[in-house]
């Protein structure tokens, strides 16, 4: 690999003086008169030739300092920088003299970059054309707007044809048209095998434009690698989801999901995943596969089957032989887990006795279904695999939409009674044999599930209501009743779901959260039976039941 | 010891280009343009002549040279020294935006400013020589010697510029200090008055000022047909002084570059 810029152990220390005369005094005395600020801490980075490399970091992270050292406009405190080829640095100020005209600035900049007047004469027309400044080129730069200045700076920088172009947030002020033009020009640069170093705090720009990226935080290089991977780390840190330490471990852990295949047979979904996971620094750290129901945060884990990974020839042998993995997930193992909702695929590793979860990077995953499936399959529910932000998700939806509502809730002795209506538009219920429904209580901490069959009874509520039934179909059996034995319900918080089974074609089966908005019909006071206190709660329009200790409830009152 | 001067020599084309850009920048947007490079000094010469000759009645010929001509020769040399020194010492500070953005050998900047001042000086010098030829009604081969003194002045100024520009870049106080010191020097250097007017022992001290060597040289060349070789000791002293400033300039630049790059 040819290297355009090699940064080796570069450290930059700024001296912060309280005394204005400090820097002068210090030259002539041995006393230390400053506080130290480490803008860069031992950075080692290679920028390969012919690639565009992004440098990410928040403001003040040291990225601009690094650039200044690479370009030579600042000197490192220690370490060395090796630059192979001519280099142009473009930043917001663009290094343009505001007294001179744009035209003279072209020659000034050209002179400083080491071009002769004759060489610049050849380039000047291209520069003026690219800058879109027209007649303004002969006006002093101080009359220019910020956007015009940046256009001029960019036009000069790209048209002097450097081997290495360094861009520091310089495109932020240009308009969209010009930005697009710059991007095109830089893409052309890339094709010509030139190196571009692109600095930004905007992960999207880096992600879309750069193949590789480095992330600098508080003067330290956190990660360097594929721009998409680095951008997603950066995003997780900037959005506050993860700390630097967590990301550090993750960075050591290289992972990618490469292929996903799935099938649905005998009423069960099965998924097979393969890819690689390895950690060069800590190869023995235990890693497991995890699937998360994102709404309730229920996580199921699965051991990885380690296989050798041959696609990366640079991996050391002892890592290569178990870098690959294979996971088979079948609904058989996890009955009832795959229900309507959204699921994410993650890996987890144990650190200080705590599981840390990382979404497995899936930016390059190949999804293989049965022929013509295109990542989608219909079984009991509709299953769909999607990749968003380099992360794989499984979206499960009901085949039909169930209209439902909890009408009444009341307590009677040791029982909780719930009455609800449910129907599917277009599916007519003429007899009690046409439909059945179950009521589910799911403990939100343990995810234990209690299923109670409901009894169906006749009602004209839906059939007669023109709002629900404009086509005049028959939904006579759409009223359900369930009685829950409170003795059998352990303490905890429960969410309520109900299922709807069609007993005749098309035999669809739906599972949904119980919708409850008729608050006037529900008990508002907690109900005490034995040592339990039962409370009906509505959380964002869905029914929840809280079973707590009656004694505690009393004492707290 | 002379690294930065080696760079200046290698980049002499760039220095020349920078000096030309500076002239453009200085006079860009003015209607009279380069004319200002003439009007301002000529007016100053006229004012000094009026004050000393008409006001103070001190304008007697100096060793046979008419006072106005003698005064103009000294002042033209001094204007060059003064302007070059002033802009050379600010050369890093005034090019701040470009230093922080564009990688190039910044050590050449003081030399660029000296050359810029010299170009402007050349115009004035041409006018001066023309007027002299009219007043004195003769032209002497010794006039060519002015270019030797110009060269000597340039070398001295490059050294002084390289020495002071890093200091000014670190703190503006140096800039004010030098400006003040130059006013002091203007009156302490025998520009408006002749050196033989003072006590002979005091003359030695006054001659320690290297600027006097230049100004005296201008007058020697124009009026007295005296070559610089006729003062071998003084010439040796002057070049020794230049050598010390050059070495010091190189040292200070190298030593201060990392400091002022961060501060600038």
- CA B164 to chain centroid: 14
User: Among residues 301-360 of chain A, which lie with CB inside 8 Å of chain B?
Assistant: none
| ipTM exceeding cut-off 0.85 for this assembly | no
pTM: 0.65
Question: Is residue B87 very low, low, confident or very high in pLDDT (cuts 50, 70, 90)?
Answer: very high
Q: Give the minimum alpha-carbon distance from B141 to chain A in angstroms, rounded to a whole number.
A: 37
Q: What is residue A429's DSSP assignment?
A: B
Give the residue-averaged pLDDT of A525-529. 87
Are A192 and A186 in contact by the 8 Å Cβ rule? The answer is no
pLDDT at A354 over 70: yes
What burial class does residue A527 get, using C-beta atoms within 10 Å of its C-beta: 0-12 exposed, 13-18 middle, 19+ buried?
Answer: middle
Q: Please answer yes or no on whether B97 and A95 come within 8 Å at the CB atom.
A: yes
pLDDT at A336 over 90: no
Q: Give the minimum alpha-carbon distance from A140 to chain B in angstroms, rounded to a whole number.
A: 8
| Mutation site, B116, B262, B264, interface A, largest A CB count within 10 A | B262
A229 φ, ψ to 5°?
-65, -45
Distance CA A104, CA B28 (A): 10
Q: Please answer yes or no on whether A111 and B17 come within 8 Å at the CB atom.
A: yes
Are B150 and B118 in contact by the 8 Å Cβ rule? The answer is yes
Cβ contacts of A68 within 8 Å, gap of 6 or more:
A74, B100
Quote the percentage of chain A above a pLDDT of 70.
Answer: 96
Buried b (16+ CB within 10 A) or exposed e, B53-76: eeeeeebeebeebbbbbbbbbbbb
Q: Please answer yes or no on whether B101 and A73 come within 8 Å at the CB atom.
A: yes
Give the helix, strand, coil percentages of chain A, each rounded to 5. Answer: 25, 45, 35
Are A421 and A461 in contact by the 8 Å Cβ rule? The answer is yes
Residue where the block lists tokens 């640095």: A89
Q: Which of A21, A100, A113 sits opposite B28 (nearest CB)?
A: A100
Q: Please answer yes or no on whether B99 and A73 come within 8 Å at the CB atom.
A: yes
- B256 part of contact set with chain A, CB < 8 Å: yes
Task: Count the Cβ atoms, other than its own, within 10 Å of residue B146.
Answer: 21
pLDDT digits (tens, 9 = 90+) for A72-121: 888 888 888 888 888 888 776 667 777 788 888 888 888 888 888 888 88
User: Among residues 87-126 of chain B, which lie with CB inside 8 Å of chain A?
Assistant: 97-104
Distances (CA, A) of B224 to A220, B70, B79, B210, B232: 70, 11, 21, 20, 17
What pLDDT was estimated at residue A23? 67
Residue with the larger pLDDT of the pair B257 and A556: B257
What pLDDT was estimated at residue A556? 44
Q: Give the minimum alpha-carbon distance from B232 to chain A in angstroms, rounded to a whole number.
A: 36
Q: Please answer yes or no on whether A73 and B100 come within 8 Å at the CB atom.
A: yes
Q: Please answer yes or no on whether A71 and B29 come within 8 Å at the CB atom.
A: no
Distance CA B94, CA B184 (A): 24
Cβ contacts of B176 within 8 Å, gap of 6 or more:
none
Task: Count the Cβ atoms, other than its own, within 10 Å of residue A364.
Answer: 14
Q: What is the mean pLDDT of chain A?
A: 85
Are B89 and B175 in contact by the 8 Å Cβ rule? The answer is yes
pLDDT at B200 over 60: yes
What pLDDT was estimated at residue A555? 45
Q: Which of B28, B104, B171 sits opposite A101 (nearest CB)?
A: B28
Q: To 5 degrees, how large is the angle CA A548–CA A551–CA A555? A: 110
Quote the percentage of chain A above a pLDDT of 90.
Answer: 15
Q: Which tokens in the block code for residue A279?
A: 């950690």
Task: Count the Cβ atoms, other than its own, within 10 Å of residue B16.
Answer: 16
What residues of B are in contact with residue A27 (Cβ under 8 Å)?
255-256, 259
What residues of B are in contact with residue A35 (Cβ under 8 Å)?
none
Q: Which of A74, A101, A112 sits opposite B104 (nearest CB)?
A: A112
Q: Please answer yes or no on whether A140 and B28 come within 8 Å at the CB atom.
A: yes
Nearest residue on chain B to A117, alpha-carbon basis:
B17
- A108 part of contact set with chain B, CB < 8 Å: yes
What residues of B are in contact with residue A111 (Cβ under 8 Å)?
14, 17-18, 21
pLDDT at B215 over 90: yes
Q: Give the minimum alpha-carbon distance from B49 to chain A in angstroms, rounded to a whole number.
A: 35
User: Among residues 2-61 of chain B, which lie with CB inside 8 Å of chain A?
Assistant: 13-14, 17-18, 21, 24-25, 28-29
pLDDT at A152 over 80: yes
Give the closest residue to A271 by CA, choosing from A357, A199, A361, A331: A331
Are A329 and A299 in contact by the 8 Å Cβ rule? The answer is no
Phi-psi region of A141 (alpha: psi -120 to 50; beta: other; left: phi over 0): alpha
pLDDT digits (tens, 9 = 90+) for A163-186: 888 887 766 666 778 878 888 888
- B257 part of contact set with chain A, CB < 8 Å: yes
Task: Count the Cβ atoms, other than its own, within 10 Å of residue A412.
Answer: 9
Buried b (16+ CB within 10 A) or exposed e, B218-247: bbbbbbbeeebeebeebbeebeebbeebbe
| Rg from Cα positions in chain A | 33
Task: Count the Cβ atoms, other than its own, within 10 Å of residue B154.
Answer: 20
pLDDT at A557 over 50: no
What residues of B are in contact with residue A96 (Cβ under 8 Å)?
97
Give the residue-averaged pLDDT of A129-151. 85
């Amino acid at each position: 690999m040819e290297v355009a810029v090699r940064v080796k152990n570069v450290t930059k220390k700024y001296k912060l003086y309280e005394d204005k005369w400090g820097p002068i005094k210090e030259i002539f005395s041995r006393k230390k008169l400053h506080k130290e600020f480490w803008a860069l801490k031992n950075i080692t980075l290679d920028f390969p030739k012919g690639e565009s490399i992004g440098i990410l970091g928040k403001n003040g992270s040291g990225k601009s300092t690094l650039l200044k050292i690479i370009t030579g406009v600042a000197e490192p405190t220690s370490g060395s920088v090796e630059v192979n080829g001519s280099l142009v640095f473009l930043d917001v100020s663009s290094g343009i003299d505001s007294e001179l005209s744009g035209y003279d600035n072209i020659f000034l900049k050209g002179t400083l970059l080491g071009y002769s007047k004759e060489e610049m004469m050849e380039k000047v027309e291209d520069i003026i054309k690219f800058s879109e400044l027209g007649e303004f080129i002969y006006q002093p730069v101080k009359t220019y707007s910020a956007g015009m200045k940046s256009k001029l700076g960019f036009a000069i920088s790209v048209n002097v044809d450097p081997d290495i172009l360094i861009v520091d947030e310089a495109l932020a002020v240009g308009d969209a048209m010009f930005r697009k033009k710059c991007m095109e020009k830089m893409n052309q640069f890339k094709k010509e095998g030139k190196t571009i170093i692109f600095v930004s705090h905007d992960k999207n720009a880096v992600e879309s434009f750069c193949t590789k990226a480095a992330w600098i935080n508080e003067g330290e290089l956190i990660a360097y690698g594929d721009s998409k991977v680095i951008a997603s780390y950066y995003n997780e840190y900037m959005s506050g989801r993860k700390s630097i330490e967590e990301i550090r471990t993750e960075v050591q852990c290289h992972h990618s999901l490469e292929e996903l295949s799935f099938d649905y047979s005998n009423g069960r979904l099965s998924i097979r995943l393969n890819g690689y996971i390895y950690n060069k620094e800590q190869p023995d750290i235990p890693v497991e596969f995890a699937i998360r129901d994102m709404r309730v945060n229920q996580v199921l884990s699965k051991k990885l089957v380690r296989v050798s990974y041959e696609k990366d020839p640079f991996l050391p042998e002892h890592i290569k032989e178990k870098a690959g993995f294979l996971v088979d997930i079948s609904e058989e193992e996890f009955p009832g887990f795959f229900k309507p909702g959204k699921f994410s695929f993650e890996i987890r590793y144990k650190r200080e006795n705590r599981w840390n979860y990382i979404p497995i990077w899936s930016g390059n995953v190949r999804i293989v279904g049965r022929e013509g499936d295109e990542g989608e399959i219909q079984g009991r529910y509709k299953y769909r695999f999607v990749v968003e932000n380099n992360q794989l998700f499984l979206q499960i939806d009901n085949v039909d939409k169930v209209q439902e509502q909890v009408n009444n809730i009341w307590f009677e002795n040791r029982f909780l009674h719930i009455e609800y209506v449910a129907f599917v538009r277009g599916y007519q219920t003429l007899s009690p044999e046409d439909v059945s429904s179950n009521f589910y209580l799911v403990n939100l901490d343990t995810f234990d599930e209690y299923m109670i069959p409901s009894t169906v009874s006749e009602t004209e509520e839906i059939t007669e209501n023109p709002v629900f039934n404009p086509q005049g179909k028959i939904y006579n059996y759409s009223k359900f009743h369930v009685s829950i034995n409170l003795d059998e319900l352990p303490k905890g918080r429960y969410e309520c779901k109900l299922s709807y089974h069609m007993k005749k074609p098309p035999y669809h089966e739906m599972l949904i959260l119980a919708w409850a908005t008729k608050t006037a019909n529900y008990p508002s006071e907690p109900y005490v039976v034995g040592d339990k206190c039962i409370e009906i709660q509505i959380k964002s329009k869905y029914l929840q039941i809280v079973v707590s200790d009656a004694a505690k409830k009393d004492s707290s009152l | 010891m002379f690294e930065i001067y080696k760079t200046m020599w290698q980049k002499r084309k760039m220095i020349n280009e920078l000096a030309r850009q500076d002239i453009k920048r200085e006079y860009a947007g003015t209607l009279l343009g380069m004319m200002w490079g003439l009007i301002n000094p000529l007016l100053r010469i006229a004012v000094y002549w009026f004050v000393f000759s008409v006001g103070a009645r001190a304008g007697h010929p100096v060793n046979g040279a008419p006072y106005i001509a003698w005064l103009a020769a000294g002042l033209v040399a001094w204007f060059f020294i003064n302007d070059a020194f002033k802009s050379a010492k600010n050369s890093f500070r005034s090019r701040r935006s470009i230093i922080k953005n564009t990688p190039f050998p910044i050590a050449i900047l003081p030399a660029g400013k000296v050359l810029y001042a010299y170009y402007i000086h050349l115009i004035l010098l041409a006018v001066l020589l023309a007027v002299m030829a009219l007043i004195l009604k003769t032209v002497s081969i010794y006039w060519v010697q002015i270019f030797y003194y110009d060269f000597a002045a340039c070398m001295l100024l490059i050294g002084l510029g390289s020495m002071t520009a890093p200091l000014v870049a670190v703190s503006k106080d140096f800039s004010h200090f030098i400006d003040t010191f130059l006013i002091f020097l203007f009156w302490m250097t025998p520009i408006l008055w002749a050196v033989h007017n003072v006590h002979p022992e005091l003359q030695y001290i006054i001659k320690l000022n290297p600027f006097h060597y230049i100004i005296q040289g201008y007058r020697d060349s124009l009026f007295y047909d005296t070559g610089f070789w006729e003062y071998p000791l003084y010439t040796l002293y002057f070049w020794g002084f230049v050598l010390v400033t050059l070495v010091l300039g190189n040292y200070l630049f190298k030593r201060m570059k990392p400091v002022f790059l961060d501060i600038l």
